[in-house]
Structure 1
């Protein structure tokens, strides 16, 4: 439904833009044609006036033109160019009874002519008639050329309008895709924790009616843990969406300090799973970016590692500077990973084998999005049964 609306909006934009450009081209072409016709008419009038001024007799006017002369006082017949047809002689004869100036007439057989009448200083009157058919042919050629130009311009306008409409609608399509992805991510990731939370709350409500409040402490602790997991999922979703759309901040973040803070916050969770969690970092490791997004990425890597280490195992977080880069490594000695899974490690909602953490899924997809947004990469190494190492590589500030 939304794609259909976007398609209709794009088509409507194409036709509206093309119609607007076509109207402008039509207006410009019409104005050009009118100005050209007006200039042609003025040029012809100037030529006729020059002929009347320079003519000494009626025998040899310029090609396509014919002369007539009446003696001073209007006595005697008019002298007319011998090559004039009877219809032209008639038209030139009618000019004797007209005032000085210009008029147009039909010399028969669709033969329009323009006649200019003037009086000389010696009292004689002269008239010159010009064949308008060459001028009409020239105007038709001009109209045809302008029509072809209009059609070519309209075709170009359609192409340009299509490209502009695609570029204009593309952000809307991208926003729609991101919106759908976010909704899909939210529904997928929130379904399980919400179900667990709802079930635990129901059980807790039932037990509260039959047991003393002091005996409900463990159930309340688990309920709090479930709400923490739910909050982390929501935060992952928001950070993932922001990493795809928001520009990279210019804030300087100490990734070493951030890693120590993440390990400190995840230590109780690791201790609960009987996993040794340690950190070793350079004194400082500055990068440019968003502290919140980087913290969630490191948290996702630590959560992923702790969840795939059996009791008694260890997870080591290290942050070092190397040749203009900052490397944040999270290494574990847990179940490891199959190199064949490397291509789908960061696919949304894919699931690995073994462990309680999210070796695949939104957590690692979030890490990849954050790395890309910070002009960095994520490297993976490991083998089945031999642990895994995830390295977040970022440009140093």
Structure 2
């Protein structure tokens, strides 16, 4: 496996083109509805767009991103962009963390500080991690796969090869959103190398075996499945479109920066613990750093392609199938779904379960200290497996 160092350097012409496109936006007519009821609020979007065109400093954001050690690996015919941050402690434990949509490797910017240098936050240096944070295929600086069929299971194989190429024979995995699916797939396909996985989200396509040979659904499980269906009806239109007509959507979002900001920004508001006020949790600079990564790399189309692939290869488990590596789960109150522990225990060995006091879908950005504490606690007894 070949590994090259990497630094982000967006051409000036691309920055100028983005500003020109924002200023030339043809704004959609307003509808007689309350703010946010039918999607991204126009007043908020106009304010964000004006700042993106005339206030946001991409070069400052680029310097912040480039402060993290970044690389490009050539793994099995696929190039993978990743951050590799070494821990500051006597024996850092290797951990691969995977982002989701509409996030990016930038999601982990604050979390990496807590995981790699716990002593800086009053923690024990013995709890430090070597963290590998790859960009999923088709996201940011990881090119889209050249061939179809790259679902969570194939990405798990890529991650296993990447970690081996970095010298980590055994390691842990952590993730939310799509990253939770990658972590589950890693544990299922590479149990001899994955010591354990920590999740802050359960993949929506996860289905344990249910039937005569399994325990009947509990009331809590029935309630969870009803809530999933209700949420999908009212809020899941984006995922259905991603999974069925990604190219149709990409044609619009790849051409309109304001359309892209609306599609992504609305999710940061709806799925987070921000109480309806986005900037209570996410500054304009941080939100636009994430959105700009999608824009400059033209990755919105390839990124939503992952939904198509995962729909074709859902995460279904047979009656006698168990995922061997232990699982830790942090349930954040404003997450988009809340499975009961028993639902996971049908397939997983759940060794840590925590009802979190605050936070939502973007836990690594919203509550990096709380999430880091949960990750450290879960992996502490597993560190002995690394030689």
Q: Specify if TM > 0.5.
A: no
Q: TM-score when scaled to structure 2? A: 0.23
Larger Rg: 1
Q: TM-score when scaled to structure 1? A: 0.22
